[in-house]
Amino acid sequence: MSRTIISIDQSACTGCGLCVAACHEGAIAMVNGKAQLTRSDYCDGLGDCLPACPAGAISFITAPEVSPADADAVASASAATSAAGAPVTTAPAFATPSATASPAPASQLAQWPCQIRLAPTRAPYFDNCHLLIAADCTAFAYANFHQDFMAGCVTLVGCPKLDPVDYSEKLTAIISSNSIRAITLARMEVPCCGGLEMALRSALAASGKAIPLSVTVMGIKGDIQAIR
């Protein structure tokens, strides 16, 4: 049978091992300093390893004649790993934030719903708005997200990896049906966020509108990597 599994580009792999740590099923192993999918029957095709790869070496493929994911084998492997102790990895760890209490800032969310999938294609709050399209993780990574990004904007959020839909059709309808004056995209540096940017650029092109677009790319520690 054919099904979706991950593929690792050996020429792009830097051997950091982050994907091995991210794969809960134990489908990936380090071989001669490179990450390899050693157990396709363990791979569930959900791609938890994909955003962990800083080199963008992991992608999805539809592989013919691949056996179904073996849930029992995965469970046994996970139990063995737990019994032996978690492997040491180079996964990034951040400093624990201070627990000092401070006044809670006001929410800057201007409308509801805010998920791209749930938002209407036509609504009064879209008229002459500055539209913020944000990847789900950005508000967790960037500490002052409400004040620095959401203030004065209509905010729509989504994750192309978790939502099994193509956002471009919905975003095309929203952009085409409303008089939006500007758009900001807030995305993470990880490769899966590229799907959100691609969907937005496709929607803008399909709408035929020349709306100013700004893209802010955030690092996983909340720093601004690029503004374009």
- Whether residue 160 contacts residue 196, with contact meaning beta carbons closer than 8 Å, is answered with yes
Q: Phi and psi for 218 in degrees, rounded to 5?
A: -105, 145
**Which residues neighbour 104 within 8 Å (Cβ) at sequence distance 6 or greater?**
none
Closest to 144 (Cα-Cα) out of 51, 52, 228, 224: 224
Closest to 157 (Cα-Cα) out of 135, 189, 183: 135
Single pTM value for the model: 0.61
Report pLDDT for 199.
93
Report pLDDT for 81.
47
Report pLDDT for 67.
63
**CB count, 10 Å around CB of 189?**
17
**Cα separation of 228 and 220, whole Å?**
18
Q: What is the pLDDT along the chain (228 residues), one digit of tens a residue?
A: 678 888 999 999 988 888 888 887 888 998 988 999 998 888 888 777 887 788 889 988 887 766 666 666 656 655 554 444 444 444 566 666 666 666 788 999 999 999 999 999 999 999 999 999 999 999 999 999 999 999 999 999 999 888 878 899 999 999 999 999 999 999 999 888 988 999 999 999 999 999 999 999 999 999 999 999
Closest to 217 (Cα-Cα) out of 184, 175, 182, 186: 186
**Cα separation of 77 and 79, whole Å?**
5
